Structure 1
Amino acid sequence: MSQKNTKGGGAPVGPGVGPGGPGGMGRPVEKAKDFKGTLRRLIRYLSPHKLLLLAVLFMAVLSTYFSVLSPEVMGRATTKLFEGIIGKMNGVPGAEIDFQYVGQIIMQLLGLYLLSALFSYFQQYIMASVAQKTVFDLRRDVNDKLTRLPLKYYDARTHGETLSRVTNDVDNISSTLQQSLTQLITAVLTIIGVIIMMLRISPLMTLIAVLTLPLSVVAITSIAKRSQKQFIRQQKELGQLNGHVEEMYTGHKVIKAFGRERKSLQQFEEINERLYEAGWKAQFISGVIMPIMSFIGNIGYVLVAVVGGILVTKGTIKVGEIQAFIQYSRQFTMPITQTANIANIIQSTVASAERVFEILDEEEEVAEEKKPVVLEQPQGNVVFDHVKFGYDDKNILIEDMNITAKQGETIAIVGPTGAGKTTLINLLMRFYEVTDGAITVDGVNIAHMKRGDLRSLFGMVLQDTWLFNGTIRDNIAYGHEGATEEEVIRAAKTAHADHFIRTLPHGYDTILNEEASNISQGQKQLLTIARAILADPAILILDEATSSVDTRTEVYIQKAMNELMKGRTSFVIAHRLSTIKDANLILVMNHGSVIEKGTHEELLAQGGFYADLYNSQFSKGGFDLEVG
């Protein structure tokens, strides 16, 4: 199953809309392990913007104030109209509707609505700035952290998991800060303002309106529990469906080759049916929430209207005040529902923040030396001096490795899978730190050099090619900053890549797609070899560099490599032993230790492990058996 559908892989859901139906109620909420601690840490990212946050709060107070004041002002107009009509009906002398007063009220209302909208706009504008600045700081810290993490962090985790934290989780935080936080502030202020205005009009009717709240809470809670189970099931089935589709898409050729189309469609239908069932139940159950909320709200509305009518007949309150109170009671339920929904969103956001902070808390690479050594004219003399290494303290892979490679020598490393060949290269490049002992280049301990300076000494051609989305020219020039057109072409010719490049429609300007699938695997390898040639490094690392090319091309590449390796120290990881006969020193590794060392002839004469490997590859009429 693909790893891209790991937790946190879904798109962030905006407030008020989501898989949980209306208002997002009932949606599954991922909870943080340490809610308070993570929330405090997230608030620290907001602390540099205190003044702007205070401005947001001030704008929210003003916007809410003008919004909450509007029903009370409208009620005055209703009362004036009612009094004028009743006066006329009762034949009161001089009784009439005061349209001038009503007109003034309308103008006041327009002013209040305009001011409320204006301050709400400024609130959103300032909060957007705060949110983006905060997330910018968070993204910068995460990016800086990722550059300081050791290779073991990436080896232990899927790329999809890390990408999910860096993109989806950070976007979730951004969305909440920009939208949900302002909604929460406005909702809380609205609740407070509405309760104050309702109490001013009638404490009795306020009590009636508030009494419907417990009923709403009980109804929502019971339904949410039922729907949440279905939403969790829906998310699980959706992840399986996405994984299945991705696997079937990426493995399309294999499915066709083995005739598994019918089986693939059958699996899709089964997962899709389960997803439909879970989704239908989840949406139906959560969809019941709004009708029930509306029903309970209407009960409260009827009670308020009846009690209000009685109070009007007794002259306790005015008609306009009842109208205002009904509007307030309508305004009262909406922010409560919003607050409940936003509480869920905040829980999910804090969980996202916790996942991001877990990256920031990861153990970093060993700190660089304060005064690093710089090799001005590197020669390429490499020594492994009693090197000991293990990926953890319990499992030591390399016990006591001693290797000396002089300038211009070719050191071949052979052995079965898991012998430690790649580990040796990782230690040389300081992707991992040695547990004990030292590795020196030209007599300088590599631990005393900056990693960037050390790695600039090496040119690498790996079995797994790495090319980026860009032109062929840019991919080759990646090995040497500021390379000229002539230098790029010369490197391509040396690597025997110039001919196939010129046969492409756009030559060196051909754009490689993200996976470089518009050229063959062998052509990719030629480009990476050209890149290494252009880099002109002091030390070469070749990991079965010709394994992906045809036999004829391999001969050309081997000649180019021989030219490239002249005067340079080269470490060659070999599977096909026929390619390293001319190496100055062959290291035979098994279980992390160098068990044999010598030239090709010396090792064959010993009749040991290397001789067995070599003979096994050329038995059965020259059959070439890979051992790693």
Structure 2
Amino acid sequence: MNTETKSGQIFDWITLRRLYAFVKPYQLHFYGLILIIVLSAILAPVGPLLIRYTIDSKIATGDYPGLTRMLLLMIGVLVLQGIIQFFNTYLSGWLGQNVIRDIRVQLYQKVLKLRLKFFDNTPIGRLVTRTISDVETLSDVFSEGMAAIVGDILQLVLIIAVMFYTDWRLSAISLSMIPLMLLSTYIFKEKIKVSFNEVRTAVANLSSFVQEHITGMNIVQIFGSEKIEAEKFKQINDEHRKANIRSIWYYSVYYPVADILSAAATGLVVWYGAKAILNEEVTYGTVTAFIMFINLFFRPIRMLADRFNTLQMGIVSTDRILKLLDSDDFTPNTGTYAPPTWRGEVEFKNVWFAYNDENYVLKDINFTVKEGETVAFVGATGAGKSSIINLLSRFYDVNKGEIRIDGVEVHDYKLEALRQSIGVVLQDVFLFSDTIENNITLGNKSISRERIVEAAKLVGVHEFIERLPGGYDYNVMERGSTLSVGQRQLISFVRAMVHDPRIMVLDEATSSVDTETEGLIQDAIGKLMKGRTAIVIAHRLSTIREAHKIIVVDKGQIVEQGTHDELLQQEGFYANLYRMQYKEMV
């Protein structure tokens, strides 16, 4: 069964115990809520008992002053019950919202630490569900789940005890419908559980379809598939409608059945009670109290089915959340070394790497980049060039061999310090739905506007930014969709420059832009790499002719290395690549 929708046990004590750990910071409120629940349960049978006493001792005897006092007492009890209900609702909601806030923060902090390999194997939609939908479900566990179930059960126990203490014969008659009520509640619980799973599956399918097709809307419109996709959406939406209608149907049947059984129990009490009153076996007040007891008793039973399903769904969500929190698929940050300055020397020594621990994409890689040098990597798509730079920043860890920066193994560096020393400019630039300034600083308050403007002028993008509405406060929208590829690329250079890394990595930085924009970017690259160690990956060999060293990678292995002229003289892999690109340019 799909892990997204399968049901869990109602009382999974291990999961509930783990969930309680999140409640510990709010123990005072939690125990206050328990006290409120107990008080609410205790007060539940008080009303019928007061009515019984009033009818038998005040109304029947004509004690009007006593009747007035009892009415005032009953009003006081109602007010007290209202106050308790207020604190019950508020405290359970307050506790739930604070707990899910803490869980959501922990989840997101966990996601930030997960290594890229985890994201390679995990759909983004599943992570969104964990941090949003599953966490939100936990709020219902506090407001309508465990606390409410405990309160309902305690209320039922107290009412039954008071009923049998008052009159065991009327109690037996009042509870005669309970077997049928419990049976109908159990059937409803099982049916609605399946229905809830169907609704959750339909919602997940609907959300996934909409998210995916909005993201790929250009493909849909390019190929004129609007009608086809609209029909697919209609079918998925129809499944969602059917699933919801099924759950509505179960509710539509269950609640009338519960009301009929409650009315039947009331009718039996009235029938038997009338005979007993005529025979002077019970009083009017006792029969009236039992009619009220029946309403108090059947109402929580009706709610228990819903509450059990809420708790059950909460347990499933909690279990999924805990599995993500318990995940150890993150980059170990055991290093402690964080030097005040970096030289920028890079050494790969006998490095082997595989994404799946079986098929190596890098095989015995050895090279050295000296301080201030520019080294370029070339090779066919899939040769392993990008894997090399991913290993340098420890987005992935090597299987064998070692990588050193300034003579120190990368695992010995504090991870934050290591990544701050390496600036990466990718081919596919990602910009957040935020201002240009925030996309450059990434929230780093220490980077001033003056420093941003200075870097933008150096890269040659300042005038373009100033022409935008709002300038540096212009919102670039999701993924920078309002900017061209070249503009996004230039902004990424400004981003790298203001963070001032000692080692600069450029991955296919000019492969997706026109010739004019490439000229601007090449100028920006020259300024960006000045005085820094640079590792460049490029398809256009004309952009790396001035590199101190060019390393040719093929099928995960280094097959050639040297300067541009040296490699051309070797008449090997690089020379063939260069001639092929020269013909294309001609």
- TM-score (normalizing by structure 1): 0.86
**1:465-484 paired onto structure 2 within 5 Å:** 465-478=429-442, 482-484=446-448
Per-residue deviation, 1:449: 0.9
- Once the two structures are superposed, the pairs formed by residues 532-551 of structure 1 within 5 Å of their partners are 532-551=496-515
1:281-292 to structure 2, matched below 5 A, reads 281-292=246-257
The offset of 1:450, in angstroms, is: 0.4
- For residues 394 and 439 of structure 2, the distance between their equivalents in structure 1, rounded to whole angstroms, comes to 24
1:74 aligned to 2:39? no
1:427 paired residue number = 391
1:353-368 residue pairs with structure 2 within 5 A? 353-365=318-330, 367-368=332-333
Quickly say closer, same or farther: Cα 1:262–1:35, change in 2 above 3 A: same
2:37 maps to: 60
Q: Deviations over 1:556-584 (max 9, x none)?
A: 22022123212211111112222222222
Q: Aligned partners of 1:140, 1:476: CA distance in 2, in Å? A: 24
Identify which of 224, 248, 255 aligns with 2:220: 255
Q: Determine which of 96, 103, 125 is the counterpart of 1:160.
A: 125
Instruction: Please state how far the C-alpha of 1:247 moved relative to its aligned partner.
Output: 3.9
- Residue 342 of structure 1 aligns with an amino acid whose one-letter code is R
* Cα distance change, pair 621–577 in 1 and its aligned pair in 2 (3 A): closer
Residues 1:172 and 1:417: Cα distance change in structure 2 (over 3 Å): same
Q: Map 1:81-480; keep pairs closer than 5 Å.
A: 83=60, 97-223=62-188, 225=190, 229=194, 232-365=197-330, 367-369=332-334, 372-478=336-442
1:512-558 alpha-carbon deviations (Å, 9 max, x no partner): 32432232222111111112222332110111222343211211220
Say whether 1:619 aligns with 2:583: yes
Relative distance call for 1:614 and 1:232 in structure 2 (3 A) is: same
Cα distance change of structure 1 residues 239 and 171 upon mapping to structure 2, 3 Å threshold: closer
Please report how far the alpha carbon of residue 410 of structure 1 lies from its aligned counterpart in structure 2 after TM superposition.
1.2
Q: Deviations over 1:20-41 (max 9, x none)?
A: xxxxxxxx87326993322222
Comparing 546-555 with 277-286, greater Cα deviation is found at 277-286
Partners in 2 of 1:265 and 1:141 — Cα distance?
Answer: 38
* Alpha-carbon distance between aligned partners in 2 of 1:254 and 1:81, rounded to the nearest angstrom: 81
Check the 8 A contact 2:58/2:66 in 1, yes or no.
no
CA distance in 2, matches of 1:464, 1:408: 26
Quote the Cα distance in structure 2 between the aligned partners of 1:171 and 1:132.
9
| Residue identity opposite 2:54 in structure 1 | A
Question: 1:561 is matched with which residue?
Answer: 525
Q: Say whether the 8 Å CA contact 2:59–2:67 is kept in structure 1.
A: no
Distance 2:441 2:380 in 1: 35
Q: CA deviation at 1:429?
A: 0.5
TM-score of the pair, normalised by structure 2: 0.92
Q: Secondary structure at the match of 1:511?
A: coil
Q: 1:318 offset after TM fit, Å?
A: 0.7
Q: CA deviation at 1:362?
A: 1.0
SS of match in other structure, 1:356: helix
Distance 2:195 2:86 in 1: 38
CA offset at residue 230 of structure 1? 5.2
2:529 pairs with 1:552:
no
Q: After TM superposition, give the deviation of residue 195 of structure 1 in Å.
A: 0.7
Indicate if the aligned counterparts of 1:67 and 1:112 stay in contact, CA closer than 8 A: no
Does residue 578 of structure 1 match 2:542?
Answer: yes
1:177-210 Cα distance to aligned partner (Å, 9 max, x none)? 2443332232122111211221122212212222
In 2 relative to 1, CA 213–32 (structure 1 residues): closer, same or farther, beyond 3 Å? closer
Compute the displacement of 1:369 (Å): 4.0
Q: For residues 435-463 of structure 1, give each alpha carbon's deviation from its aligned partner in whole angstroms, at most 9, with x where no partner exists.
A: 22221111122211101111111122111
Q: What residue ranges of structure 1 are gaps of 5+ in the alignment?
A: 1-5, 9-27, 85-96, 623-628
Q: How many residues align?
A: 585
Contact 1:234 1:278 in 2 (8 A): yes
Structure 2 residue matching 1:470: 3-state secondary structure:
coil
Structure 2 vs 1, CA of residues 378 and 238 (structure 1 numbering), >3 Å: closer, same or farther? closer
Amino acid at match of 2:537: I
- Tell me the alpha carbon deviations over residues 27-71 of structure 1, each in whole angstroms, 9 at most, x when there is no partner: x87326993322222233334554543332222222222232011
The whole-number CA distance in structure 1 between the counterparts of 2:499 and 2:316 is: 45
Secondary structure in 1 aligned to 2:119? helix
Q: Relative to 1, partners in 2 of residues 1:224 and 1:480: Cα closer, same or farther, differing over 3 Å?
A: closer
* Map of 2:552 onto structure 1: 588
- The 3-state SS of whatever aligns with 2:292 is helix
| Alpha-carbon distance in structure 2 between the residues aligned to 1:472 and 1:366 | 30
Q: C-alpha displacement at 1:355, in angstroms?
A: 0.9
Return the offset for 1:226.
5.0
* CA deviation after TM superposition for structure 1 residue 227, in Å: 5.6
How much identity, in percent, do the aligned residues show?
32
Q: Do 2:186 and 2:305's aligned partners in 1 also have CA atoms closer than 8 Å?
A: no
Aligned-partner Cα distance in 1 for 2:10–2:174: 37
Query: CA distance change for structure 1 residues 226 and 63 in 2, over 3 Å: closer, same or farther?
Result: closer
Counterpart Cα distance in 1 of 2:421 and 2:102: 33
Letter in 2 for 1:440: R
Q: Which residue pairs with 1:24 in the alignment?
A: none
Quick one: which amino acid aligns to residue 346 of structure 2? V
The Cα shift of 1:334 comes to: 1.2
Alpha-carbon offset, residue 324 of structure 1:
0.8
Classify the secondary structure of the residue corresponding to 1:194: helix
Distance 1:572 1:442 in 2: 19
Letter in 2 for 1:427: L
1:75–1:324: 8 Å Cα contact kept in structure 2?
A: yes
Distance 1:124 1:236, change over 3 A: closer
SS at match of 1:413: strand
Q: Can you give the 5+ residue segments of structure 2 that lack an aligned partner in the other structure?
A: none
CA distance in 1, matches of 2:443, 2:63: 85
* Cα displacement string for residues 275-325 of structure 1 (whole angstroms, at most 9, x for unaligned residues): 444443442244111111112222211111111112211212111111110
Aligned to 1:602: 566
1:176 CA drift (Å): 1.5
Deviates more, 1:581-590 or 1:272-281: 272-281
Which shows bigger deviation, 569-578 or 133-142? 133-142
1:488 aligns with 2:459: no
CA contact (8 A) 2:493 2:528 kept: no
Query: Over aligned residues, Cα RMSD in angstroms?
Result: 2.7
The 3-state SS of whatever aligns with 2:404 is strand
Counterpart position of 1:18: none
8 Å Cα contact 1:414/1:588 also seen in 2 = yes
- Secondary structure of the residue aligned to 2:60 is helix
Query: What letter corresponds to residue 41 of structure 1 in structure 2?
Result: R
Range moving further from structure 2, 421-430 or 604-613: 604-613
Does the 8 A contact of 2:348 with 2:365 survive in 1? Answer: yes
Retained in 2: the 8 A contact 1:495–1:529? yes
Query: 1:591 Cα shift?
Result: 2.7
SS at match of 1:377: coil
Question: In structure 1, what residue type is equivalent to 2:426?
Answer: L
- Note the C-alpha offset of 1:384: 0.7
Identify the range of structure 1 (48-57 vs 113-122) with the bigger mean alpha-carbon deviation.
48-57
- Matched AA of 1:456: Q
Preserved CA contact (<8 Å) 2:189 2:305: no
The one-letter amino acid paired with 1:188 is I
The answer to whether the 8 Å contact 2:511/2:538 transfers is: no
Asked if 1 retains the 8 angstrom alpha-carbon contact of 2:504 and 2:533, the reply is yes
